[in-house]
Amino acid sequence: MFLMTLLVSLNSSSLFAGTEPKAPPLADRLAAIRTKVNVLEEGILSGKQSENNIQIQLRKIQSLLKLQKFEQELTQKRLGELEHTINELEVRRIKLEDKMSLQKSSIRRYLMTIENSYQNEALGKLNPLHLPEQEKLEGPRRKMLANLIDRGLKEVEILQADLSDAAQLHSRIQDEKQQLTYLTQELKEQESVLELNRQLQYDILIRKRQEHMVQFENYRKLKTSEAQVEHLITEFNARKELENDAKLPVTTAMIDRAINQGTFEKLKGKLPFPIEGGKVVGDFGRNFDRQSGMHVFKKGIEIAARNGSPVRAVSEGKIAFSGRLPNYGQVVIIDHGNHYYSLCAHLDKILKKVEEPVRTGDVVGLTGDSANPLYFEIRARNIAVNPLQWLFN
C-alpha cells in the first residue's frame, strides 16, 4: 500500500508540493515546456531561409532561450524529487527486509516448537507416568502454531511483493534520471546553436550569411540523422515487446538465450574494440563537428584504422539494421538484447544482413578511407552511453 501511494505521489509530485498544491506536477510541466521548445525550434529551422521576418525570428530565439532556462531549472528540481523518492524507497526497503527477517524467525521458532511437541508426545507415551490429558492439550496448541505459521507465510509473500514493486519503481526512477541527464546535455549544446542563429539573423541583414547558412544546414542534417537512428531503435524495442515466445531455430538458440538473459550489461569494461589496433580520434561528448563547424554533443566515438580493416561485433546478438543512413553512410546496428544496441557507421562494405545472428568477434563490415573513420555508438534504452567505459583495450 505504501508503494502504491509513493508511485501516485511520484507521478503527481504531491510528495513535494509547495504552497500551490493545484500546480501541475513537474513531469507534466517539463513535457509541456519540451513541446513548446520543439515548436519554436521547428519554426526557427523552417524559417531560416526567409529574409522578411528577421525580427520575428529573433523574438523566437529570445523566447526559446527563456524556455530553455526554465526547462533547466525544472529539470534540476525534478532530479531532486527523484533523488528524494529513491531515498524513501531505500528506507522502505530496509524496513521491509527487517519485517521479513522477523517473520521468518517467527516461522522457524513455531516449527521448532511443533517438532518439539511431537517429540515430547512420543517420549511421553513411553513413560509409565504418561498423562492422556497432556496429550489432548498438545493437539490444539500445535494447531494454533500451524495457523500462526500459515499467517506468517502469507505476510512474507506480501512483503516479497512489496519489495518487488519497490525494485520496479526504483528502475523506473533511474530511467527517468538518465533521460533528464541526457536532456541537460542537449540543452547545453543548443546554447551554441542559438548563438549561431543570432549571428545568422544579423548576417541576413548585411547580406553575408552564406557560410553560416551552410553550417546551420549541416547541423540540421546531423540532428535529423541522429533522430532517425533513435527512431529506428525505438521501433526495434517496440517490435521486440510484441514478439511472442515462439520456439527459436536451433542455429540461433544459443545467441537468443544469451540475449534474453541480458548478458551484455554484465560486460561493461570488458568488450573488445570493434577494430583491432584502431585508434580513437573522436571522443564521446562535447566535440567540434567538422561538417557543421559547431560544437555538438557526439553520441559515439570515432576510430581510425587502415582502409579495409575488419569491423567486428563487440558482443553476440542479431543484426537489427543493415544499410545506408543519411550522414552515417553504410551502417550496421546490432541488437544485444535487454534494450542494448551497438552501431557501426561509415563502413565501406557491409557483410551481414538483417536478422542474421552474430557472435563476439564476427566481422560485420569493412572500413573505408582512413579520412572517414569508423563511427561507433553503444545505446542503453536508446540513450547513448560513452563506449570507452564499455570497451577494453
**pLDDT tens digits along 369-387:** 777 899 999 998 888 899 9
Amino acid at 352: K
Per the model's pLDDT, the better-predicted residue between 366 and 186 turns out to be 366
pLDDT, residue 250, reads 36
pLDDT, residue 312, reads 97
Kindly tell me if the per-residue pLDDT of 11 is higher than 60.
Answer: no
Residue 164 pLDDT level (bands cut at 50, 70, 90): confident
Between 92-106, 167-181, 225-239, 328-342, the lowest mean confidence (pLDDT) is in 225-239
Where residue 158 falls (left for φ over 0; alpha for ψ -120 to 50; beta otherwise) is alpha
Between 14-23, 295-304, 355-364, 379-388, the lowest mean confidence (pLDDT) is in 14-23
Task: Please report, to the nearest 10 degrees, the dihedral formed by the alpha carbons of residues 226, 334, 233, 281 taken in order.
Answer: -20
Question: In this structure, are residues 69 and 35 in contact, taking their beta carbons and an 8 Å threshold?
Answer: no
Question: In this structure, are residues 277 and 305 in contact, taking their beta carbons and an 8 Å threshold?
Answer: yes
Per the model's pLDDT, the better-predicted residue between 29 and 79 turns out to be 79
Helix, strand or coil for residue 91?
Answer: helix
Kindly tell me if the per-residue pLDDT of 335 is higher than 90.
Answer: yes
- State the Cα angle at 10 between 7 and 12, rounded to 5°: 110
Q: Identify any residues that bridge with 344 across adjacent strands, giving them in sequence order.
A: 332, 376
pLDDT, residue 169, reads 86
pLDDT, residue 317, reads 94
Long-range contacts of 280-285 (CB under 8 A, 24+ apart): 280/304, 280/388, 281/373, 282/373, 282/375, 283/388, 284/384, 284/386, 284/387, 284/388, 285/185, 285/386
Domain residue ranges of the chain, discontinuous segments joined by +: 2-208, 213-389
Q: Mean pLDDT across the stretch 232-256?
A: 56
Between 13-17, 171-175, 209-213, 323-327, the lowest mean confidence (pLDDT) is in 13-17
Q: Mean pLDDT across the stretch 255-269?
A: 67
Cα–Cα distance, 192 to 225 (Å, whole number): 19
Cα–Cα distance, 241 to 206 (Å, whole number): 54
Kindly tell me if the per-residue pLDDT of 10 is higher than 60.
Answer: no
| CA-closest candidate to residue 213, choices 363, 19, 381, 47 | 47
Q: Please, what is the angle between helix 132-205 and helix 2-12, to 10°?
A: 10
Kindly tell me if the per-residue pLDDT of 68 is higher than 80.
Answer: no
| CA-closest candidate to residue 326, choices 245, 241, 224, 189 | 224
Residues found in the chain: 393
Considering the chain, what percentage of its residues have pLDDT values greater than 70?
A: 66
Kindly tell me if the per-residue pLDDT of 388 is higher than 90.
Answer: yes
- Radius of gyration of the chain from its Cα atoms, rounded to whole angstroms: 30
Kindly tell me if the per-residue pLDDT of 330 is higher than 60.
Answer: yes
State the chain's mean pLDDT as an integer. 77
pLDDT, residue 15, reads 36
Distances (CA, A) of 262 to 43, 255, 283, 341, 377: 42, 11, 27, 12, 18
Considering the chain, what percentage of its residues have pLDDT values greater than 90?
A: 23
Identify the CATH assignment for 213-389 out of 2.70.70.10, 2.40.160.40, 3.40.50.300, 3.40.50.150: 2.70.70.10
Q: Please, what is the angle between helix 132-205 and helix 210-242, to 10°?
A: 160
Between 81-85, 178-182, 279-283, the lowest mean confidence (pLDDT) is in 178-182
